[in-house]
């Protein structure tokens, strides 16, 4: 092929790719920010702790009702976990939900902490338990290629 | 040496946006703001602005050098390639919020008492797209250089013949 033609085609490809990058960046950023506000705004996220009277297990329940205000499909993910002093997971559970643009999805995530674990790590105490409570929240879009993830770790949080 | 006004204007604009603006911003913003951002968000904005200012100087120097080199010279090709690689590193720098080594992952981590907060922005798709664009731009520069050199050789050829006749 003529070299001049190749140069011209390359120029068009570069312009096209640059435009695509800018458009995708703007769209994904818009979706991520709207998704973030849609997920954490008042009344859309709640964390409750219950105790099973029969077995003595602890039930940590996360209720979420996120809304996708963006223009791309987004995947919202949540994870709850408890880590020991060495940073190893004692128990963890996670879930994710895909939300089309303009829609809202309700889901809940339950972390069952067995009674033996509650006793072993002294989780009944109000303070001083040598564990870390971890809450992970993530929003991804464009087939999980672009995303935002927040991990919150609270040390010594026995009084969940 | 011929003064290239367009190149000087381009270099001055880059210097104003990437060097003077961050330095001014660093002086105008209160130090408490930087301290709070650093402690709670784990984000060293002052350091980031300093590095952006340095990048601005390097960018301007590159633009000035490139603008004063003959397009048919191999020096132009080298400078053009260095400029594109530098541009790519700058994109990684922006996407990684001052950390180009993360290739598009911006990580912010802060502590407040017993609470640790880690925020990660995953922009690796754009880092990949920027790499593809940079590679295509370098390939195009090489082809353009070959084309310019070929044209220069053709244009020089009749002159040589004429000088031989004399």
The answer to whether B114 faces chain A, any CB pair under 8 Å, is: yes
What's the gap in Å between the CA of A51 and the closest CA on chain B? 25
- Distances, alpha carbon A139 to alpha carbons A40, A68, A72, A91, in Å: 12, 10, 12, 23
Residue A89 in tokens: 């997971």
State mean pLDDT over A106-121.
86
CB contact under 8 A, A146 and B139: no
| pLDDT confidence of residue B113 | 78
- Does A75 score more than 80 pLDDT? yes
Q: Comparing A92 with B31, which gets the higher pLDDT?
A: A92
Question: Which of A13, A149, A152 is closest, CB to CB, to B136?
Answer: A13
Query: What percent of chain A is helix, strand and coil (3-state, nearest 5)?
Result: 30, 40, 30
Answer yes or no: are the C-beta atoms of B44 and B98 closer than 8 Å. yes
ipTM of the complex: 0.81
**Tens-of-pLDDT digits for all 166 residues of chain B?**
566 888 899 999 999 999 999 999 888 888 888 887 777 667 788 888 999 999 999 999 999 988 888 877 888 899 999 999 999 999 999 999 888 999 999 988 888 778 888 999 999 999 999 999 999 999 999 999 888 888 878 877 765 555 545 4
Answer yes or no: are the C-beta atoms of B67 and B10 closer than 8 Å. yes
CA distance A101 to B27: 42
Domain boundaries, chain B: 1-68, 72-157
Residue B17 in tokens: 């946006």
Beta strand A107-113 with A58-64 is: antiparallel
State mean pLDDT over A24-39.
87
- The pLDDT mean for chain A works out to 85
- Does A158 score more than 50 pLDDT? no
Q: Comparing A11 with A1, which gets the higher pLDDT?
A: A11
Answer yes or no: are the C-beta atoms of B125 and A21 closer than 8 Å. no
* Strands (DSSP E) found in chain A: 45-51, 58-64, 74-83, 89-99, 107-113, 132-141, 146-155
Residue A27 in tokens: 């769209």
The answer to whether B108 faces chain A, any CB pair under 8 Å, is: no
Q: Which residues contact B31 (CB under 8 A, 6 or more apart)?
A: none
| pLDDT confidence of residue B160 | 54
pTM of the model: 0.80
CA distance A23 to A17: 10
What's the gap in Å between the CA of A53 and the closest CA on chain B? 31
Domain boundaries, chain A: 3-155
CA distance A70 to A103: 9
Asked if the A3-155 domain carries CATH number 2.60.40.10, the reply is yes
CA distance B126 to B104: 7
Among A29, A138, A147, pick the best mutation site for testing chain B contact (most B Cβ within 10 A).
A147
Contacts of B143 in chain A (CB under 8 A): 3, 6-7, 10
CB contact under 8 A, A17 and B123: no
């Amino acid at each position: 092929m003529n070299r001049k033609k190749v140069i011209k085609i390359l120029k068009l490809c570069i312009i096209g790719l640059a435009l695509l990058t800018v458009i995708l960046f703007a769209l994904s950023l818009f979706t991520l920010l709207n998704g973030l506000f849609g997920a954490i705004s008042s009344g859309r996220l709640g964390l409750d702790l219950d105790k099973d009277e029969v077995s003595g297990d602890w039930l940590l329940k996360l209720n979420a009702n996120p809304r996708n205000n963006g223009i791309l499909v987004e995947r919202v993910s949540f994870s709850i976990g408890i880590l020991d002093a060495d940073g190893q997971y004692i128990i963890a559970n996670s879930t994710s939900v895909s939300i089309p643009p303009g829609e809202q999805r309700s889901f809940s995530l339950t972390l069952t902490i067995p009674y033996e674990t509650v006793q072993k790590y002294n989780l009944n105490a109000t303070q001083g338990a040598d564990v870390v409570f971890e809450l992970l929240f993530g929003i991804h879009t464009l087939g999980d290629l672009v995303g935002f993830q927040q991990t919150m770790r609270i040390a010594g949080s026995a009084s969940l | 040496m011929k003064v290239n006004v367009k190149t000087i204007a381009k270099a001055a604009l880059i210097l104003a946006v990437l060097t003077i603006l961050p330095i001014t911003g660093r002086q105008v913003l209160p130090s408490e703001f930087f301290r709070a951002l650093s402690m709670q968000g784990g984000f060293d904005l002052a350091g980031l602005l300093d590095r952006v200012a340095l990048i601005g100087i390097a960018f301007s120097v590159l633009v000035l050098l490139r603008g004063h080199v003959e397009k048919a010279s191999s020096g132009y090709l080298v400078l053009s390639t260095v400029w594109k690689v530098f541009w790519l590193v700058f994109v990684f720098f922006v996407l990684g919020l001052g950390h180009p080594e993360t290739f598009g992952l911006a990580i912010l981590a802060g502590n407040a008492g017993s609470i640790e907060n880690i925020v990660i922005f995953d922009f690796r798709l754009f880092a990949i797209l920027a790499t593809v664009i940079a590679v295509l731009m370098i390939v195009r520069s090489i082809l353009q250089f070959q084309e310019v050199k070929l044209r220069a050789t053709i244009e020089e050829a009749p002159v040589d013949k004429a000088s031989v006749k004399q």
